[in-house]
Chain A
Amino acid sequence: SQTIHQWPATLVQPVGSPLSLECTVEGTSNPNLYWYRQAAGRGLQLLFYSVGIGQISSEVPQNLSASRPQDRQFILSSKKLLLSDSGFYLCAWSGTEKGPGELFFGEGSRLTVL
């Protein structure tokens, strides 16, 4: 069966510091991968998605970036965090094993920027 792992689960970072969140998927190959952000009490905002290694599409211009160095690895980064980057970050995957569009989320990373 497929599983998705995301870390770290929580982190507190000062403004201007770098960020790296990592996500890996097991039990599938060539998944579509996504990064979503959820501000406190808000909905899910798609940040990046990837259909393959090295292929990244950005949905919202911001100081974040994403990379996919391996088929089942997706990384969210920032060189300098802003206060507005605080939120709950969710990695997700979809693939051909399930129906098109079915999205499965990681457990999330709660980021607080001070």
Chain B
Amino acid sequence: GENVEQHPSTLSVQEGDSAVIKCTYSDSASNYFPWYKQELGKRPQLIIDIRSNVGEKKDQRIAVTLNKTAKHFSLHITETQPEDSAVYFCAAISTGTASKLTFGTGTRLQVTL
């Protein structure tokens, strides 16, 4: 099955700086890569996703890049703000039925003033 690794596990940046979270996946047939943000005690929410037919996608201050050859994808947050503080999860979709997502272990991002 799919295996997703995520780094770093914790990340602390100053407000206004950029943050980058990286993930690698094992199944070359995976074709959908979402990113979820989870605030403390709340459910994960989709913030951006990318499909295997594109290399980059941007939505305001967040962007995701995908390198299919190397089987890795990254989340980039620019001009970080305190409200960006949360746990971020990457995921990749496994082949087969039910569109099962395999999640990374999460990155706790702390944006300091």
A residues whose Cβ falls under 8 Å from a Cβ of B:
32, 34, 42-44, 46, 49-51, 57, 59, 90, 94, 99-108, 110
Residues B43 and A44 in contact, CB atoms below 8 Å apart: no
B46 on the A face (CB < 8 A): yes
> CB < 8 Å: which of B43, B99, B104 contacts A100?
B99
Residues A106 and B43 in contact, CB atoms below 8 Å apart: yes
Residues B32 and A43 in contact, CB atoms below 8 Å apart: no
Residues A101 and B93 in contact, CB atoms below 8 Å apart: yes
> CB < 8 Å: which of A50, A51, A100 contacts B32?
A100
B residues whose Cβ falls under 8 Å from a Cβ of A:
32, 34, 41-46, 49, 51, 89, 91, 93, 97-106
Residues B46 and A104 in contact, CB atoms below 8 Å apart: yes
> CB < 8 Å: which of B32, B45, B101, B102 contacts A99?
B32
For residue B91, which residues in chain A have a CB less than 8 angstroms away from its CB? 103
Distance from A60 Cβ to chain B, minimum over Cβ atoms (Å)? 12
For residue B41, which residues in chain A have a CB less than 8 angstroms away from its CB? 110
Closest 5 CB pairs of A and B: A101-B32, A105-B43, A101-B93, A43-B105, A44-B103
Sample of 5 A–B contacts (CB below 8 Å): A32-B98, A42-B105, A43-B105, A90-B43, A101-B99
For residue A110, which residues in chain B have a CB less than 8 angstroms away from its CB? 41
Distance from B86 Cβ to chain A, minimum over Cβ atoms (Å)? 13
For residue A32, which residues in chain B have a CB less than 8 angstroms away from its CB? 98-99
Q: Which of B32, B46, B99, B103 has the most CB of A within 10 A?
A: B99
- A99–B105 CA distance with the chains assembled, in angstroms: 24
Residues A90 and B93 in contact, CB atoms below 8 Å apart: no
For residue A59, which residues in chain B have a CB less than 8 angstroms away from its CB? 100
- A65–B8 CA distance with the chains assembled, in angstroms: 34
Distance from A5 Cβ to chain B, minimum over Cβ atoms (Å)? 12
Residues A49 and B100 in contact, CB atoms below 8 Å apart: yes
> CB < 8 Å: which of B42, B43, B98, B105 contacts A51?
B98
Residues A49 and B93 in contact, CB atoms below 8 Å apart: no
